[in-house]
């Protein structure tokens, strides 16, 4: 397929890997965070980690909307479906996110709640128009990619006067989260890992452009390379970061220039600004309360805001005690560091959110990396045994 | 979640909708956010909406970038030639 196949060429990947190997300086550590779950998935799926020199380490960031969705928000959606009898529409990704009382949306559905997976926000609005006798709520999650479609659906619902439709808005913002990781005092307390650069979001940047990253590249002196989701894009993005580190630069560069511009998609930004405004604060799983990091529906659209319509109040719920999702989302721990990983917590039966979506750090490591980790620890053991002998 | 795929616009429909082709699979999507999309353009499709348009020249430039030699290899190359001469 055009614009996919040529960006997955194995020979070309080895060529870029050779470039990276030739340019990294021995003795220098290159710790790069890929913010997006899409990159985490690509790095695991295509074995990119195996093609990098040992001093280049990729740290998985919190850019998986399913992973950062706090339990309390899923609880609100479940209560709407179970107790208020609404038709709850959701993207498939959220169905298995663990919530309170051992529930998830899929388990609530098994208990009789009317929960429907939709491909698009517009399908939810269509459903509301087909069932005027029922309340239909769209559980809207995601970063700046899914936000413009939600905005368009709210605009259309208002224009067409669809009174039985509303949106439970959980949209979050990327630049706020990256700034939080760099700035948060809490991260410093926990002993945040040194990050030498960021692989910047691909599709989020189509919408917001490359400009929003300039501020923190300058303020925090961290290079950012906006990078596509295909494996060659990721390799090239890493090479560009290595070059920035080597030359002491901290700039925003754009590897994904075939779709990302400096100013982004203006039409998308306009409709988002019309329908949404900033929330003062929003709780992220793993990051806690992050100021001005999420969106809420403007008062002009109050009639379609599920939080107002059903008088919903958010309550924070702590994660499972032994779940390390929080530290993993901040890049402080790796999936294999969690006691639950691969034992009680698996993609079939996730305990923590990082195991739910295939973009989550734990699910990606479980699917593509856990045997490599076992092989590495086995060979390390053999080596120690040999020394002992 | 943010996964999106490039698809070719094959037909423009009323109300800012279009039919796109993705490796032989055809689907109707909204072009509300990319309202200047034309037939034969490649657009990025995400949850039923085109969110961006691919610039074919930039795509070529990026592919050319992949093929470039590294900065280190560039400086090594003249020496290799020298070796051949000697």
Judged by a CB distance cut-off of 8 A, whether residue B31 touches chain A is no
* Test the B interface: residue of A3, A63, A261 with most B CBs within 10 Å: A3
| Contact residues for A126 (Cβ-Cβ < 8 A; gap 6+) | none
Among A263-267, A345-349, B43-47, name the one with the lowest average pLDDT.
Answer: A345-349
* pLDDT band per the 50, 70, 90 thresholds, residue A213: very high
Q: E strands, chain A, where?
A: 30-36, 56-63, 87-90, 115-117, 136-142, 165-171, 197-200, 224-226, 252-254, 276-278, 281-284, 288-291, 295-297
Instruction: Give domain limits for chain A.
Output: 1-335, 336-388
- Which of A 206-245 lie inside 8 A of B, CB atoms? 206-207, 228-229, 232-233, 235-236, 239, 243
CB contact at 8 A, A84 and A58: no
pLDDT at A326: 82
* DSSP letter (8 states) at residue A348: S
CA pair distance B33, A271, nearest whole angstrom:
9
Residue tagged 């006067």 (tokens): A161
ipTM of the complex: 0.88
- CB contacts, 8 Å: B53 with chain A: 259
Domain B5-85 has CATH 2.30.30.140: yes
One DSSP character per residue, A284-341 reads ETTTEEEET-BEEE-GGGGGGBHHHHTT------PPPTT--HHHHHTTSS-GGGSTTB
**pLDDT tens digits, residue range A337-386?**
999 999 999 988 888 888 888 888 899 899 887 777 666 666 555 555 55
CA pair distance A52, A212, nearest whole angstrom:
29
* Test the A interface: residue of B43, B45, B66 with most A CBs within 10 Å: B66
Residues A260, A261, A263, A267, CA torsion sign: negative
pLDDT at A384: 54
**pLDDT tens digits, residue range A135-172?**
999 999 999 999 999 999 999 999 999 999 999 999 99
CA pair distance A207, A266, nearest whole angstrom:
8
CATH architecture, range A1-335: 3-Layer(aba) Sandwich (3.40)
**pLDDT tens digits, residue range A317-329?**
988 888 888 888 8
* DSSP letter (8 states) at residue A345: B
**pLDDT tens digits, residue range A190-206?**
445 688 999 999 999 99
CB contact at 8 A, A302 and B69: no
Percent of chain A topping pLDDT 70:
93
CB contact at 8 A, A161 and A125: no
pLDDT at A145: 96
CB contact at 8 A, A314 and A72: yes
The mean pLDDT of chain A is: 91
Q: Using CB atoms, which residue from A3, A15, A265 is nearest to B33?
A: A265
- CB contacts, 8 Å: A146 with chain B: 1-2, 46-47
CB contact at 8 A, A266 and B32: no
Q: Is B52 close to A265, i.e. CB distance below 8 A?
A: yes
Q: What is the pTM of this model?
A: 0.90
Residues for chain A: how many in total?
389
Q: Is A260 close to B8, i.e. CB distance below 8 A?
A: no
Q: Residue range A204-233: average pLDDT?
A: 94
Among A182-186, A285-289, A360-364, B54-58, name the one with the lowest average pLDDT.
Answer: A182-186
- CB contacts, 8 Å: A64 with chain B: 1
Judged by a CB distance cut-off of 8 A, whether residue A271 touches chain B is yes
**Tokens of residue A261, six digits:** 């511009």
């Amino acid at each position: 397929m055009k614009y996919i196949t040529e960006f997955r060429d194995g020979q070309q990947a080895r060529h870029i890997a050779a470039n990276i190997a030739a340019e990294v300086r021995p003795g220098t550590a290159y710790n790069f965070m890929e913010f997006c779950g899409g990159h985490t998935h690509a790095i695991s799926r295509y074995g990119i980690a195996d093609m990098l020199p040992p001093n280049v380490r990729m740290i998985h960031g919190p850019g998986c909307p399913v992973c950062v969705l706090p339990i309390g928000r899923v609880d609100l959606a479940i209560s709407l479906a179970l107790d208020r009898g609404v038709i709850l529409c959701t993207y498939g990704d959220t169905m298995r996110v663990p919530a309170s009382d051992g529930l998830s949306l899929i388990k609530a559905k098994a208990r009789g709640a009317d929960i429907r997976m939709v491909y698009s926000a517009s399908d939810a609005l269509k459903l509301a128009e087909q069932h005027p006798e029922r309340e239909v709520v769209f559980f809207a999650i995601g970063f700046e990619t899914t936000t413009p479609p939600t905005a368009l659906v709210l605009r259309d619902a208002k224009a067409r006067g669809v009174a039985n439709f509303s949106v439970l808005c959980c949209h979050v913002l990327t630049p706020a989260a990256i700034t939080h990781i760099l700035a948060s005092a809490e991260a410093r307390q926990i002993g945040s890992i040194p990050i030498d650069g960021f692989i910047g979001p691909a599709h989020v940047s189509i919408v917001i452009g490359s400009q929003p990253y300039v501020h923190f590249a300058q303020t925090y002196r961290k290079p950012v390379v906006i990078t596509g989701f295909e494996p060659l894009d990721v390799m090239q993005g890493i090479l560009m970061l290595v070059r920035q580190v080597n030359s002491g630069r901290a700039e925003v560069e754009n590897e994904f220039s075939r779709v990302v511009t400096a100013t982004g998609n203006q039409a998308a930004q306009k409709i988002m600004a019309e329908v949404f405004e900033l929330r003062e604060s929003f709780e992220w799983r793993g990051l806690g309360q992050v100021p001005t990091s999420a969106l809420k529906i403007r008062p002009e659209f109050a009639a379609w805001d599920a939080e107002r319509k059903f008088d919903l109040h958010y309550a924070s719920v702590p994660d499972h005690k032994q779940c390390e999702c929080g530290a993993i989302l901040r890049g402080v721990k790796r999936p294999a560091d969690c006691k639950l990983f691969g034992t009680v917590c698996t993609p079939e039966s996730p305990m923590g959110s990082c195991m739910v979506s295939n973009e989550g750090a734990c699910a990606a490591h479980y699917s593509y990396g856990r045997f490599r980790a076992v092989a590495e620890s086995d060979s390390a053991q053999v080596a120690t045994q040999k020394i002992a002998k | 979640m943010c996964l999106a795929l490039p698809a070719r616009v094959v037909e423009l429909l009323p109300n800012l909708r279009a039919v796109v082709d993705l490796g032989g699979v055809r689907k109707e999507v909204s072009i509300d956010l990319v309202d200047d999309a034309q037939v034969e353009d490649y657009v990025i499709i995400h949850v039923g909406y085109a969110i961006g348009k691919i610039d074919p020249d930039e795509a070529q430039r990026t592919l050319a970038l992949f093929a470039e030699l590294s900065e280190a290899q560039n400086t090594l190359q003249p020496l290799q030639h020298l070796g051949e001469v000697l």
